[in-house]
Amino acid sequence: MARDSVLQARAARNGETVFSIYSWSRPTLSFGRNQPAAGVYSLEKIRAAGIDVVRRPTGGRAILHHREVTYSVAAPIDAASLRETYSRINRILQVGLSRLGVLVEAVPRSHHTPTPGVRSCFETPSEGELVARGAKLVGSAQWRENGALLQHGSILVDDDQSSLPELSASVPPVNGSLPTPATLRALLGRAPDAKEVASAMFDAVRSMEDAAATEMVEDDVRGEALNLVPHFLDEDWTWRR
């Protein structure tokens, strides 16, 4: 999260756009920027499950980062609206996923937007999110600040998002069965790793956006990112709502 925040600041300063794909070294629960968490989720249950916790600089609902691949896009803001930039990034994701053998489509504008809660972000797709065979595969959220945007998204490899209610301060009753999200394993019959997904996505970036796109040197942002790490480790930030 510190690294992605630095990339957003760099985008505002120098107009640089960076598309990233990464996985997490430990299972981690991330809260959306303004999502209520205090009194909703149980820190004791989260720790007992061996899960780390962080609050994202972007919005949206909680996501368990474990059996999934995360993407981020940091870019300067141009004249395009949030919806337009969201759609532009979606097109890259669609082409990248098609290179893996997965066909997805965006949820129509008229689709219902889910209310906040402890149930999975992947339970019900929101407008513009990507679905495969009618089930949500990619969850995304965008934050704009100081002339730059940061968009985070999660591409499910396996489904462990339905376990989120078990981490709540008091598990709410569930009426009926929960919708099952799409996963790369179910769609492909195997589980691609982050490197394979990254290769497909970067091919899509080069074919659709910039044929001369190159890999970023991580040392260029490491120092700035390390300076921001204490902010994301601060429980006052993580549990501020």
**Torsion angle of C-alpha atoms 113, 147, 197, 166, degrees rounded to 10:** -40
Distance in angstroms (rounded) separating the CA atoms of residues 142 and 120: 18
pLDDT band at 170 (very low <50, low <70, confident <90, very high): confident
pLDDT value at residue 126:
77
What is the CATH number for 42? Answer: 3.30.930.10
Is 241 part of any domain? no
Neighbours of 97 (CB within 10 A): 23
pLDDT digits (tens, 9 = 90+) for 120-150: 577 677 788 999 999 999 999 999 999 999 9
Is 150 part of any domain? yes
Is 42 part of any domain? yes
Is 123 part of any domain? yes
Neighbours of 218 (CB within 10 A): 9
On the question of pLDDT at 100 being above 90, the answer is: yes
Distance in angstroms (rounded) separating the CA atoms of residues 172 and 120: 13
Is 45 part of any domain? yes
Distance in angstroms (rounded) separating the CA atoms of residues 8 and 231: 16
Annotated catalytic residue within 6, 89, 102, 121 = 121
Active site residue 117: no
pLDDT digits (tens, 9 = 90+) for 192-235: 999 999 999 999 999 999 999 999 999 999 999 999 999 999 99
pLDDT value at residue 44:
95
Across residues 81-101, what is the average pLDDT? Answer: 95
pLDDT digits (tens, 9 = 90+) for 14-31: 999 999 999 999 999 999
Domain boundaries, position 20: 2-236
Is 148 part of any domain? yes
**Structural domains of the chain, count:** 1
Distance in angstroms (rounded) separating the CA atoms of residues 155 and 184: 8
**pTM, entire model:** 0.91
Q: What angle do CA 121, 68, 43 make, to 5 degrees?
A: 60
Is 92 part of any domain? yes
pLDDT value at residue 223:
97
pLDDT digits (tens, 9 = 90+) for 36-81: 999 999 999 999 999 999 999 999 999 999 999 999 999 999 888 8
Q: Hey, what are 162's tokens? A: 């339905």
